[in-house]
Chain A
């Protein structure tokens, strides 16, 4: 039998060759590639603008070969809203940012954009801490989690019980798609790309606001080797931040 070799994995066209500053094992790298792959698969590289937030995601403009805008802390959603008002009829706008930025300073903007059903795809990288600033407490940090600002572990007394922001979006009529996956297991990463694609398609068909949260690891601030970080985070978030598609438009989209 004659064989030929088919490439089944490689370097996506929309991903820049620029070396990335992300620490070894960081989920931001996976997310960046998935976004590039989704853009390539949908062939929208020329019609899409990305907006990134502050923190470790802030250098995304260097890593994706598409039009990109880096927003100030807390303001990625408003910047994307303004862009979407201007170019939304012709192009797509997505936002990629960390949970510290989005659920902290950016929370009001997130919910208002969701309520208005802005035509946006929001991808939030949730790695349970504010990575770039030096591993500080973030709104999704787990109880007992040691961070630079909670050296003895996050306590309910000071900071309450962390909330699943992703599922808080579910009751908002303007939100058409809500999903979450783990950016550190092969099976879920594969699904993750499809979730990004679906989100962008929903936007293309003017179906409103869509949201995908990516659970990630920040091995540097967990002070763990990446494989160990994967194990620990997987078990720590189990039951708290489940993966899945929580909401999807009822009609009109063929994928």
Chain B
């Protein structure tokens, strides 16, 4: 296997999944997501040890994934924003059955059919939608193709450590972003597979997978176990992030393509404004709140940049100190914030 490859974000996810030992991919092809699917089909034909299956609809894809996971497969699935509700319905069942799932959500402009251009307006839906019935799902937000590789590998680790569905939100711009990914520098690991399957040894006893619990006590027990699992997860996992320029009094927070654009904007400042720090959460659940709070403790000006009607600001609100001067900037409709726009927004505010 080549150590370095020029890959798009969508392809980087596929490559990382294969290198992590993923054996099946179920999806229904739609733009953005289909780049991942096509990459995987190409690699399937190269004999890389995974099987790609096109389901009749996105929901069926998730429940084929459910069956295959129970059968022992390590499964990857993907949707775009329009089909996120199907992913959330599936997440409810994977949560209930304590089964791992990795789902890539290619985020694009909505609501409704919207368009296929990037947006980050499914952030809260993914974070809270996965909480249906008190289920929970880690949500990762990589930006560069290299980050996509790390996030994919991490997603399988989280899914199989906690037996939960894991969502990776990748905006349509990051999905298309190309870079040379150096796999030799990445710590890709094949995770020991330990999720329960019908093939598993059960002392000869038949194995049952059901999410139905008709009596109250049984359901209470399940909810208690779920609560404990979530507490363990939050205790053990901090949430990943990237930070540039830690000591500055001006802090920009953004993720996905917005973070990449913000970084470009900040790099292009030449003494026009004081240096700014950039905080990029690459995990939204768990949220790297300690790291963010530390970065905020040094700052007095906070710039929140995202591509929705203010979802990132809503998410960060609980962590923002009262004396902080807050600036928010959003692009929507599929428009990526331009470097010039970001520069003038920050310049005008300071």
Is there any pair of Cβ atoms, one from A and one from B, under 8 angstroms apart in the complex?
Answer: yes
- CB within 8 Å of B: which residues of A? 49, 51, 58-59, 61-62, 64-72, 74-75, 77-87, 108-109, 112
Given A82-B65, A83-B67, A87-B71, decide whether A69 and B60 contact each other with a Cβ distance below 8 A.
no
Min CB distance B284 to A, Å, is: 27
Instruction: Determine the residue in chain A with the shortest Cβ distance to B57.
Output: A108
Query: Looking at chain A's contact residues, is the secondary structure mostly helix, strand, loop, or mixed?
Result: helix
Min CB distance B16 to A, Å, is: 22
Instruction: Determine the residue in chain A with the shortest Cβ distance to B51.
Output: A85
A-B interface pairs (CB < 8 A), number: 108
Given A51-B67, A78-B64, A78-B67, decide whether A68 and B212 contact each other with a Cβ distance below 8 A.
no
**Cα distance A79–B56 in the bound complex, in angstroms:** 13
Q: Which of B185-216 contact A (CB under 8 A)?
A: 198-199, 206-212, 214
Chain B residues contacting A81 (CB-CB under 8 Å) are 60, 64, 67
Chain B residues contacting A74 (CB-CB under 8 Å) are 59
Given contacts A75-B66, A85-B53, A112-B60, 16 further A-B contacts (CB under 8 A): A51-B67, A64-B206, A65-B206, A67-B207, A68-B207, A68-B210, A70-B212, A78-B55, A78-B64, A81-B64, A82-B66, A82-B70, A108-B56, A109-B60, A112-B55, A112-B56
Given A49-B198, A112-B56, decide whether A82 and B212 contact each other with a Cβ distance below 8 A.
no
Instruction: Determine the residue in chain B with the shortest Cβ distance to A77.
Output: B60
B67 and A70 within 8 A (CB): no
Is B68 an interface residue, CB under 8 A from the partner?
yes
Q: Which of B37-65 contact A (CB under 8 A)?
A: 51, 53, 55-57, 59-65
Is B72 an interface residue, CB under 8 A from the partner?
yes
- CB within 8 Å of A: which residues of B? 24, 26, 51, 53, 55-57, 59-73, 89, 93, 198-199, 206-212, 214
Min CB distance B95 to A, Å, is: 12
**Cα distance A59–B208 in the bound complex, in angstroms:** 11
Q: Please tell me which one of the listed residues A64, A71, A87 contacts residue B198 in the complex, with CB atoms under 8 A apart.
A: A87
**Cα distance A228–B345 in the bound complex, in angstroms:** 79
**Cα distance A86–B74 in the bound complex, in angstroms:** 10
**Cα distance A79–B55 in the bound complex, in angstroms:** 12
Chain B residues contacting A112 (CB-CB under 8 Å) are 55-56, 60
Chain A residues contacting B68 (CB-CB under 8 Å) are 82-83, 85-86
Chain A residues contacting B65 (CB-CB under 8 Å) are 82
B73 and A86 within 8 A (CB): yes
**Cα distance A61–B212 in the bound complex, in angstroms:** 10
Chain A residues contacting B71 (CB-CB under 8 Å) are 49, 82-83, 85-87
Chain A residues contacting B51 (CB-CB under 8 Å) are 85
Chain B residues contacting A72 (CB-CB under 8 Å) are 63, 89, 93, 211
**Cα distance A217–B207 in the bound complex, in angstroms:** 30
Chain A residues contacting B70 (CB-CB under 8 Å) are 69, 79, 82-83, 86
**Cα distance A78–B89 in the bound complex, in angstroms:** 14
6 tightest Cβ-Cβ pairs between the two chains A and B: A82-B67, A86-B71, A70-B210, A78-B63, A82-B68, A82-B64
